[in-house]
Each structure stands twice: as C-alpha cells, then as structure tokens.
Chains A and B, each alone.
Chain A
Amino acid sequence: MKKRHIEYTLICLVFMVLSILFFNGCDDKPSASGLHNVSHAGTELDDCYERVKLRFSESNQGTRVYWIGIEKNSKILAHGEGIWLTGGFSNVVHYIDVNYTHNLIFGNKYDYYVYACSNKNKVGNIGAASSRAGPIPLQLSSQWNYSDCYKTCCTEGRKYTQLQNDISGLNGLEARIKTRYGKVCSEGVGPDDGFGVVNCSLKKTNQPMWGQIGYGYERYHDWVIQTIYYWYWEVKESGPIPRYRYEDFCCPLLPLEGDVHLYRCELDETNGLWKFFMDDTINWVDTVYSADWFVTAGLAVISGEILNFEDDMAGTFSDKCHITDCRYRISGQGFQNFYLQSNHFVSDDLNEWGIQRVSGNAFNIWDKNPQP
C-alpha cells in the first residue's frame, strides 16, 4: 500500500513539473483562447511582394504583441512584423508581406494564422506564442518578377581587399589570420549565394592559376538557408576543373570566431606538389600533385574576398581582421618576412573596405559598412 502511495506521489510530481514546463506564460503552447473571428481582409499586390491582411478580434488578455504567420507541417515559413495591442478589441486588421525571400510557390495554398505573445523578441516563434487562431487557407496569387526582386537583395560582383607583391621564384606563403566571420548578404532569407573568405594565395603572373588556403563563410541558396563556416584550400591549374576541399563544418578544428590560425601553402615545383598547412600541424597537411605546377609562382596575395557587394568583408572597424607574420619563401631559400609598403595594399573601394598597414609584415582589413 505504501509503495503504491509513493508511486502516485511520483506521478503527481512529474505531472506538476510538466505543467510548470509547458504551461508557463508566454511559452504556452498555442491555443485559440482570446483570439477569435479571424478572416481574410484582402490582399494587395506589389512588384516584389503581396500583402495579405487578416482581420481578428480579442477578448481582454492585456497588452500583447500580435503577428501573422504562415505555417506548413508545424514549421513557420514566413511571418510579419508584430504590433502591440491591448485586448478587448474587435476586427483589427494586420498584415504580412510575403515576398520572394520566403521561397513560397505561386499558386499553392498556405495556412495563415494570427499569433499573440507578450514578448516582442519572440515574434515568429511558434513555440513562444501563447495564442494562435486560424488557419485561413489562401492561395499565393502574385507573379512577381523573381529576377527583378532578386537584384534588390545582393549585387553580385566580387570585391577584394588585399596585399599583393610580385616576387619571382616564389614557392611559399604564410600568415597568421584572425578569424572574423561576417554575414553574407542573403543570410537566412534571400535567394542568393554569398561568401566571404580570407586566404593566402600563390599565383602565376598573368595566368589564372593559383594555390590558396584560408577560411570562409558561405551560403549556397540551393542547399541550406544557413551560412556555413570552414577552412579550405584550392588549386587552380591551366585546365578547366579546379581542385578544392572545404573542411570542418561541424568539427572541433573549425576556426572559431576571434581565434588566430597560421595558414601556409607550399609549392614543390620540382615535383609538382602543393602542400597546405593549418597551424603547422602535420595532420592537416593535404598534398596535391599537379602536372601544371612544375614552375614557381610569381605573385603573393593575402586577400579578403567577397562574392556580392553586400557580403561582409572579414573584420569590422572595432574588431579588425588582423593578418600578421606574413612571410614568403623563394625557391631554395627559407621563409622570410615581407617588408610591406603602402603600395602593396589594394582595396576595391576604400569607402567600403578598409586596409591598413600595421608593420612590415602585418596589416588589417575590415568592412566599413557591415550588416547589422
């Protein structure tokens, strides 16, 4: 009897804990209590979006923030901005602007809901909504010009902020580079690819051939919506198909924000071999044989590169991308320090991307207008 008593007590305790966890204020599971009389209040069409308006009413639930969202399979596909309203209102009209960044399909039906929550920072989070009412199934009717809207997001055109130095007989390059991940233009929403990288690169003069190693942040729109982070190397030969390897998206040795790592590329031109190192660790070496590279390089480049004008170049004014211990190697010699002068530094637009000599073998780069 006592045993059963203990069991009942335990069950009650578990129930109480669960109640506290799942029925706690704004983190309630959505319910329709309070919100009612939801209806479609019209749709306005624009060149790049359609504004869908819903009408709804609320009994007196105090002051809360209300927003409209679109769901599929319990996942929110799009949401509008929140507005603060005080309960006890009838037939208020609010809207959501559905645009090309939401990747919805023209002609398809989607479920629209009204949500309420007391925390404005949680707008768009289904789990945080304390009330939800709907669905209102509506067909996505717009036929906005995708390519026109596309251009309003990212302006494709590569930009560089870099050190470059002609050195004959070049076959090695290294630098310590601070990891400063930026945002890509389309991060989280847009239909564009974007990237930012910082790398050490040995190039042939007047020929599109190089070997490089560095780190970067990148998004391929077709693959996932998130930006991913990596270190990488790449070898471009005279042929049409480059070799590359992008590594460590999820692994312990991914360069972490703020960390400094040594990146080095070496060319053994007598055997046509490239070697890539990170932090001098032999375990990270990758060796690439190339029949095209039985010659030395002629140009040393340490570069910040972005794909779109709006992608962030590495570094910000207050936390620049420091590039130090820049050294090169000439065939038959050891690594030696650069003696950098102002004419070695190039920015595609100094109003947008800063570059600053720190010493004979160190410099900084940064984005002057990074995304917020």
Chain B
Amino acid sequence: MTTTEKTEKTVEGVRVRNAHKSFGPHAVLKGIDLDLAPGTVTVVIGPSGSGKSTLLRTLNHLETLDLGYVSVAGELIGVREHNGRLHELSPRQVRRQRARIGFVAQSFNLFPNLTVAANVAEPLLAHKVAGWDAAYTKAYELLDRVGLKHRCTDYPRQLSGGQQQRVAIARALALEPDLLLFDEPTSALDPELVGEVLAVIKELARSGRTLVIVSHEIGFARDVADHVVFIDGGVVVEQGPPAQVLDHPQNARTREFLGKVR
C-alpha cells in the first residue's frame, strides 16, 4: 500500500468507540476503542475469556453493545443516530448490513442439509442477488478460488475440516463483502489442515479487503497482519504493527501472554 492511501482517510475502516458489553453480571468488554484502516489486516490476539470473540461479533451486530458503537466504512452498525442518541435499526436493516460483512466462525457452521455448492449459493439466493443459475455459477467460481470446485456436489460432512472451513470462507465471500471477520478460523482444525486455510486467508489479505481475524496463530499474525491488537480482560492492552507487538511488546501483560503462547 502506498503511503498516500494510508493517510487519505476518505473511506473509513472499522471504528469502535467505547465498547462495553456485559453478559448479566459479567462484564466482557470494558471500554474498547479501535481504529482499523480500510484494506488492512488486523489480527486480534489475547487469552481466552478476554472478550475478543465478543468484540468480533459486535462488528456485524451478532452481539449488541451495552454502551458505545461500531462503524464500518463510516456507517454505524446495528444502530442509527437521531437527535444525539443511538437507536436500534430494524432487523431487516441489520440483515442488509450483515450482507456486506463476511463472517467465518471457528466451527465452520456449514449447513449440513445443503451441498457444498448450495451452501455457497445460499446467501446469493436469499438476498435475491442472483437467480438460480447465476447463483450456482458464482458459487462454482468461488469454490474454484478456494480450490474446492471438484467437491461441489458433496455434503459438508464428507469433507475434511480444512475443506469445510475453505467452503465457509467461499460462502462468506459470496456477497462480495468489503469487511471479513474470522473467529479463530483454524482453532478447530487438525494441525496438518491449518496450512490450507491460512493460505486462503493470506490470499484474501492481499486482495485489498479489510480483514479482522481473531487467532492464536502468532506466526500467521506475523506473516499477514498489518496491525495486531492484544486484548485482555475486556480492554485493549497493546496494539500496533506485528513487529512491535509480537517481537518487542511494550506491556508486561503482552509479554506474559506471548511467553505462554510461543
């Protein structure tokens, strides 16, 4: 990326302001502020229970915030502003927003009753973006890009974990979102399958989309991330370029965490 692109903030990226979220008495996000530049890859790391998955889910309104807001490309997610206050959007409006954000979960969550191709075609059909034939054609293209076109008539259960995750990524790409969210995409995979998924994500990283990835693959983070965020106890402890956060962490907690994970 050229420096002019980075300093020109004509298109905003992901912005999180004062994010607070509690589940009952248990506070999970205790005031998070983030500015993630568009077209960059951000990897979020942190111990379990730190709130990173919850934070990720607030970016496409799968979780709602008690306080604070999230905006993507300048648009508030899940809420709108009126007279200085935030009001919830209608479910239909939220769904439309979610169509522009891709989400890949740890457990793939492919629809087992649909074939691989049908899974990828589903968002296109559901949002009436394409007719039956066009949707499937697009699905085959996407599957080809993740290298699984030859399995298109199989059912998810017949695929290995790595293959399923790649299909999940293809499905998340179907509506051509500008923002992609990954929640621990390789944590449920056998070690030898991790590589194929990371390869696909790496390729996406180079495509100019904004990626936010929650992961504990530190090596991957170093390879791919433009920005690393370390979250612990519901707050951002440290963030910055990977070279800094991962190799020369400033904060003691970061150091402690990295020491355990290496």
The reply to whether chain A is a binding partner of chain B is no
Binding site for A on B (CB under 8 A): none
Binding site for B on A (CB under 8 A): none
